[in-house]
Amino acid sequence: MQSVVELVPSILSADFAQLGAEAKAALAGGGTVLHLDIMDGHFVPNITIGPPVVASLRKAVPNVPFDCHLMIENPDEFIPAFAEAGADWISVHQEACIHLDRTLHLIASHRCRSGVVLNPATPVSLLEDVLDIVHHVLIMSVNPGFGAQQFIRNSLRKIEELARIRESRGLAFRIEIDGGVALDTVGDIVRAGAELLVAGNAVFSHGDARGNARKLLQAARDASLIRA
């Protein structure tokens, strides 16, 4: 049986000068996990935030899981600092990890839930040997680095494939999607089997983050009823 869909607002598209208030608005609209995009200007062509900002936001938003999506080279060097800053979930890119199994165990050793992320061009088959040790698999439905990009529909097939593998192997990882999640795509995404819906642009770029979050979550829930 699949778990209920959850909205995971991504602060990448929020007003960084009002980060606490923006996060709280999206959570008031139904978001249950907060997605923090960590970019280093090397693994992806953009730079965002580091552990000090995560720690500040943790004080403003104490009771919601922080889902830290590391789009960085050498993630092992920074995992302890993000855990210390208040991350609850930490995900790393398969493409950035030479010793992926070691990195996932490192995350767990810091009492965080471990996740693994796939770029649009990376096949699900490369995760075969870690699916039994991860809390979540994050499928990128855009090339990582920026918000507000167009949804790549091939990701739907990858979600379906993951859901099939999970069922056949009796595993428990959750399926998350990131990039281009919006009112016009969320139905197909949920019907394909994604449960954790990361959304930045759709929540934060059109005023009223609370109202936007609420509408998107409602659309996701409606689609999940049809799926069931």
- Residue 199 vs 219, nearer CB to ligand DX5: 199
85 torsion bin: left (phi>0), alpha (psi -120 to 50), beta (else):
alpha
Site for ligand DX5 in 45-74 (CB under 6 A): 69
145 binds, among ligand DX5, Zn ion, none (CB under 5 to 8 A by kind): ligand DX5
User: Contact letters (x/-) for ligand DX5, 134-163, by CB under 6 A?
Assistant: --------x-xx-xxx--------------
Active-site residue flag, 184: no
Q: Which amino acid is it at 29?
A: G
51 in Cβ contact with 79 (< 8 Å): no
d(CA 51, CA 5): 28
- Residue 24 vs 111, nearer CB to ligand DX5: 24
Which residues pair with residue 68 across a beta bridge? 36, 90
Exactly one of 178, 196, 212, 220 binds Zn ion (CB under 5 A); which one?
178
Stretch touching Zn ion by CB under 5 A, among 63-71, 81-89, 119-127, 146-154 = 63-71
Within its chain, how far is the Cα of 87 from the centroid? Answer: 13
Number of residues that bind ligand DX5 (CB under 6 A): 21
Q: Which long-range contacts (CB under 8 A, 24 or more apart) does 60-63 make?
A: 60/19, 60/20, 60/23, 60/24, 61/20, 61/23, 61/24, 61/27, 61/34
Shortest approach of ligand DX5 to residue 22 CB, angstroms? 13
Site for ligand DX5 in 88-117 (CB under 6 A): none
Q: Which residue has the tokens 């075969």?
A: 128
Active-site residue flag, 37: yes
Among 40, 101, 132, 178, the one annotated catalytic: 178
Shortest approach of ligand DX5 to residue 228 CB, angstroms? 25
CB within 8 A of 225, min separation 6: which ones? none
Q: Which residues bind ligand DX5 (CB under 6 A)?
A: 10, 12-13, 35, 37, 69, 142, 144-145, 147-149, 178-181, 198-202
What residues act catalytically? 37, 178
